[in-house]
Homo-oligomer: A and B are copies of this chain.
Amino acid sequence: MDEFALIDSIKQQTYKQPSIIKGVGDDAAIFRQSAQDIVTAVDTFVEDVHFTRSTMDPFHIGYRSLAANISDLAAMGADPAFYLVSIVIPQSWNENELNGLYQGMRDMGNAYNMDLIGGDTVSGKVLTLSITVIGYVPRDKARYRSMAKPGDIVFVTGTFGDSAAGLFMLNHPDEYTDEAYFYRKHRMPAIHADFVSELEFLPRLALNDISDGIANEANELAEASHVSLTIYEDKLPVSTHFHQFTEDQQFKWKLFGGEDFELMGTVPASGWEDVKQMAASTQTQVTDIGYVESSGNSDHGAFLIGRNQIKKRLEKKGYTHLKQVKKNE
C-alpha cells in the first residue's frame, strides 16, 4: 500500500459538519465559521512512550489518542468539529493494524460528528501520531484556566486513578475484580464535551482537563487564576472496585496517575446546582471536591487536605512527557 492508497482508504466519502467547504484532497482543508470562535490544539503520541501495543490494540491507540485531543477542546468549553492526523509509519505496522488505528479515531470522532479533514502520512522508525483538533465555542464563552475566583466550588467529572489502575493490571496480570472496567477506562476514556456544551449558559466557569494527573492540573488552574485551590483527599471520587489496590497505589494513581481525561472546574457557588443538573442530564458524574480562596497575591497553588485533616501543598508530580532535554553540550 502506498501513500495514495492509504489516504484513499481513510478519506471520508461525506462530511458531517455543515461548516466544511473542502475536505481531504487538495493542499489544505477549508471551513467557514462566522458565528463562533475557533478553538485548536495538537497532541502527539509516540509508540513505547505514550502507549505500547502490549497493552492496547491499534483500535484503542487511535480511540484514546483522539479522545485526549477532544478532551482539550472540552476543557475550553468547545464543541469538537474537525481533526487532522499526521502519522509516522514504521515497517513494523501492517495495513490491518493501520486500519484499526484509524477505525479507533473514526469511532471516537463519530461520537462528536467530527470530520477528518487532513493529515500527512510519512515513513519513519517509530509510530508517531500527531492529531490536530478544531472545535467551535460561542463567542466569549471559552472556559479558561484563569477564570477561577475565591469562593468558587472545585468540582471534577468521573472518577480518578482508573486509567493508571487499568494500565497496572495490564502490565501485572493477576486476579483482579472487574478488570474489564479498568481496561476500558485506560483504553477508551469517556470525554465530557457534551456536558461542557450544556454549561454554556453559565456566566463564568474555569475548566482544565486532567491529562497529567489532578495534582498537576490543580496547580495549573491555581497559578493561571492567581488563587489558592484546596481539595479534600477523601472527596476525590473513585470507582467501586478501586479499593482493591493498596493505599499507596490508590493515593498515587488518583492524584498523579493522569490520563483519566476527566475535567476539573471551578464555579461560583450560585452555579453549582446548575452544574449538577446539567451533569445529570448528560449522565455525567460530578463531585464537589474543594474550594478556591484568595492566595493574597502570592503563593498561588494547590493544597490537599489529607485524611488526617492536615492541609499540605499539593506538589506537581504528573507526567510531563519531556524530562531529558539536555543543556547545551
- The reply on A89 being an interface residue by CB < 8 A is yes
Q: Mark A72-108 against chain B: 1 for CB-CB distance below 8 A, else 0.
A: 1101101000101111110101111010000000000
Task: Tell me whether B325 and A122 are in contact (CB under 8 A).
Answer: no
* CB-contacts of A260-307 with B (<8 A): none
- The reply on A234 being an interface residue by CB < 8 A is no
* CB-contacts of A123-161 with B (<8 A): 123-126, 128, 130, 132-135, 137, 139, 142, 144-146
- Identify which of A33-41, A182-190, A197-205 touches chain B: A33-41
- The reply on A167 being an interface residue by CB < 8 A is no
- The reply on A324 being an interface residue by CB < 8 A is yes
What is the interface residue range for chain A against chain B?
35 or more
Q: Complex Cα distance A40/B33, Å?
A: 13
Task: Tell me whether A94 and B329 are in contact (CB under 8 A).
Answer: yes
Task: Tell me whether A30 and B26 are in contact (CB under 8 A).
Answer: no
24 residue pairs from A and B, CB less than 8 Å apart: A2-B320, A2-B322, A2-B325, A26-B76, A26-B145, A26-B146, A27-B72, A28-B40, A28-B133, A30-B76, A32-B37, A32-B139, A42-B120, A44-B87, A44-B122, A46-B123, A49-B122, A86-B130, A89-B325, A94-B326, A95-B325, A96-B328, A126-B128, A128-B130
8 A-B pairs closest in CB distance: A28-B41, A34-B34, A130-B130, A3-B322, A27-B75, A46-B124, A96-B328, A27-B72
Task: Tell me whether B94 and A327 are in contact (CB under 8 A).
Answer: yes
